Amino acid sequence: MEEKVSRGVTILGSTGSVGMSTLQVLAEQREKFHIVALTAFSQAEKMFEQCLLFTPQYAVLVDTSSAQWLTKKLHEAGSTTKVLAGRKNLEYTASLPDAEIVMAAIVGVAGLCATLAAITAGKTVLLANKESLVVGGTFFMDAVKKYGATLLPIDSEHNAIFQCLPETYAGDKTKSGIRRILLTASGGPFRTTPALDMRNVTPDQACAHPQWKMGRKISVDCATMMNKGLEVIEAHFLFHIAPKHIQIVVHPQSIIHSLVEYTDGSVIAQLSNPDMKTPIAHALGYPKRLNTSIPSLDFFKISQLTFEEPDFIKFPCLRLAYKALEEGAGAPAILNAANEIAVEAFLKERIRFVDIPRILASVLEHFPRTLPIRTLTDIIRLDKAVRKFTQTYIINELQSVEQKVS
Ligand SMILES: NC(=O)c1ccc[n+]([C@@H]2O[C@H](COP(=O)([O-])OP(=O)(O)OC[C@H]3O[C@@H](n4cnc5c(N)ncnc54)[C@H](OP(=O)(O)O)[C@@H]3O)[C@@H](O)[C@H]2O)c1
């Protein structure tokens, strides 16, 4: 018999690309789920529309003046949704008793505290916000265990790996007969662009991903392939697999979302159209499957699936990510913070696309990588220091370029 209980969902980052795909999935599942809270940074108009459509108990906007505007508009519209403002309310709505499921879809380390609040409250956390896991690493995974939370990956590659692993997998690769993980990558918008032509690419060109429609930060990460680097780190912590057993495979069609190879030579893959609604629906329904209107994969239209080796020279961010992971301790957090600042500077057209990996390599060299990550305070302190250093580094470089020109 069908269960009738409705499960409460909080979406952190509901106005973003993953947040909106989550709402699209939930729009078809109104009997199974209800929205407890929606959160965003400042996009009040989009949040207003979402509140009218999904009637959450709470809507959080970090930006106070946007929250004031939303309060007024919802009051005029006769809505019962309560508007809250400020960062702390992300954590509050991530840990409300009625929110059984929390979709962590804020971009960057800005999502860390709210994601950890959901974990500490023992929620089922649907993790899109990979940066939180990259910087938190073992501390993050220990918290999942300590508070009895359930972590389900939303990144399409990690969701695919999760689906290809044995149901009983508990982090022991040898015991489960796993040889390696094959993490697929589309190759991004510059896969076939000659390295020299990448010097003058614009933010809009970098954000024009051939397969996926995403937020601008992750789109730039795909273009530099830092996204794949962050995903290698994410896969290591999620599945407890050593970096040498995680192989990146460039697969431009983005139909195979990742594969697990077993010691008898079997390779199990997960396939679907490149649409985030599939991993989101999988995680929302887990361990069951939701009945959705997501279109079937048309094998005759696809006709061919191709594979290439990743180019570690043209995309140095890949090398930097493996290096940071091998160094361990604070290195992934340093790499991530430097990357967030460098990507922001590129999107504001203050630095060139090709400056991003060069800046990351310099920042990574500057910090003592053995800094331990034992507490949330350690993570936040390191993240802040690296951001400040990277910002100063970029300003100094810009000034020295200006001096040379004048
Ligand atoms: N997009 C994808 O297909 C995809 C796939 C796999 C994984 N991911 C991961 O999912 C996460 C979200 O990606 P996205 O593409 O959905 O990003 P996005 O479109 O840029 O959306 C980001 C969301 O986070 C909110 N936000 C931004 N800064 C914030 C802050 N300081 N405090 C609180 N909320 C903040 C935004 O609110 P406002 O709208 O008000 O600014 C928005 O709701 C990232 O970690 C990304 O790596 C994304």
pLDDT-derived band of residue 406, with 50, 70 and 90 as boundaries?
low
Task: Encode pLDDT of 292-330 as tens digits.
Answer: 999 999 999 998 999 999 999 999 999 999 999 999 989
pLDDT-derived band of residue 401, with 50, 70 and 90 as boundaries?
confident
If you measure from the C-alpha of residue 38 to the centroid of ligand 1, how many angstroms do you get, rounded to a whole number? 13
Task: Encode pLDDT of 165-176 as tens digits.
Answer: 999 999 999 999
- pLDDT for 213 equals 85
Nearest-CA residue for atom 21 of ligand 1: 16
- pLDDT for 241 equals 97
- pLDDT for 227 equals 98
What is the model's pTM? 0.97
- State which ligand 1 atom lies nearest to the alpha carbon of 66: 40
Q: Which two tokens stand for residue 379?
A: 């993570």
For residue 371, pLDDT beyond 80 = no
Q: Is residue 302 within 8 Å of 253, Cβ to Cβ?
A: yes
Nearest-CA residue for atom 44 of ligand 1: 107
If you measure from the C-alpha of residue 304 to the centroid of ligand 1, how many angstroms do you get, rounded to a whole number? 32
DSSP secondary structure string, 269-323?
EEE--S-THHHHHHHHHTTS-----PPPP-HHHH-----B---TTT-HHHHHHHH
Question: Within 10 Å of residue 133's Cβ, how many Cβ atoms?
Answer: 28
Q: Pairing state of beta strands 150-153 and 124-127?
A: parallel
Reported CATH class of domain 7-154: alpha beta
For residue 370, pLDDT beyond 80 = no
DSSP secondary structure string, 88-149?
HHHHHHHS-TT--EEEE---SGGGHHHHHHHHHTT-EEEE--HHHHHHHHHHHHHHHHHTT-
Report the mean per-residue pLDDT for the chain: 96
- Per domain, the residue ranges of the chain are 7-154, 162-273+301-405
Distance CA 374, CA 36 (A): 32
CATH 3.40.190.10 fits 162-273+301-405, yes or no: no
Nearest-CA residue for atom 45 of ligand 1: 129
Q: What are the percentages of helix, strand and coil residues in the chain, rounded to 5?
A: 50, 15, 35
Nearest-CA residue for atom 10 of ligand 1: 128
If you measure from the C-alpha of residue 2 to the centroid of ligand 1, how many angstroms do you get, rounded to a whole number? 34
Task: Encode pLDDT of 25-70 as tens digits.
Answer: 999 999 999 999 999 999 999 999 999 999 999 999 999 999 999 9
Distance CA 332, CA 141 (A): 15
- State which ligand 1 atom lies nearest to the alpha carbon of 128: 10
